[in-house]
């Protein structure tokens, strides 16, 4: 399966400017589909599997990797029912993730679409790019595997997000503070 991380260097080259950013780092402190598995872990796995799938299909693997990493950049604890209901989170988190990503990074049209549509058909926004379909599919596959406990509890060391930087980084390339 994908979890052998054989395409590590190629994938990291696509997302290395995003990984040290404070907002991406914050995702590691947020819960995801099962206890002990963070939103950051989930987003790394979705990013990596989407990259691998798109690369094999000859699609834009770089933008799939980047959109996959940022698809859940909503930056709140979705399990806190005092903030909103579960249904509200399911329907609204893609929009919040997109707003957060747009505030921090220069996104391509495809990356925006990946983030905005990853919950289709629960949201009414359909895919406009095949990479959006790939990331949405990998998001659902990873979520099911996480819920079933099939994925490892931790990401192998080379994929763990780096330590939080001091202050907001001026990340290379397209990222902004």
Tens-digit pLDDT string for the chain (177 aa): 445 667 778 999 999 999 999 999 999 888 677 777 788 888 999 999 999 999 999 999 999 999 999 998 987 766 666 666 666 655 678 888 999 999 999 999 999 999 999 888 778 888 999 999 999 999 999 988 888 877 654 454 434 444 444 454 434 344 433
- Which contiguous run of DSSP H or E holds residue 32? strand 31-34
Q: Are 69 and 47 in contact (CB under 8 A)?
A: yes
The reported pTM is 0.82
What are the tokens at 81? 């029912």
Three-state DSSP state, 34:
strand
CA 76-145-10 angle, to 5 degrees, is 80
Bridge partners, 115 (sequence order): none
């Amino acid at each position: 399966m994908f979890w052998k991380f054989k395409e590590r260097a190629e994938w990291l080259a696509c997302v290395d400017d995003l990984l040290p950013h404070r907002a991406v780092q914050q995702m590691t402190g947020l819960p995801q589909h099962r206890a002990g598995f963070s939103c950051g872990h989930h987003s790394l796995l979705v990013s990596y599997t989407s990259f691998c799938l798109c690369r094999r299909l000859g699609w834009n693997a770089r933008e799939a990797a980047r959109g996959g990493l940022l698809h859940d950049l909503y930056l709140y604890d979705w399990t806190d029912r005092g903030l909103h209901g579960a249904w509200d989170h399911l329907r609204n988190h893609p929009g919040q993730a997109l707003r957060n990503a747009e505030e921090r990074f220069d996104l391509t049209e495809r990356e925006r679409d990946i983030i905005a549509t990853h919950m289709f058909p629960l949201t009414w926004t359909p895919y406009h790019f095949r990479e959006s379909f790939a990331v949405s599919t990998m998001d659902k596959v990873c979520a099911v595997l996480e819920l079933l406990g099939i994925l490892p509890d931790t990401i192998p060391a080379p994929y763990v997000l780096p330590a939080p930087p001091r202050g907001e980084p001026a990340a290379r390339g397209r990222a902004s503070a």
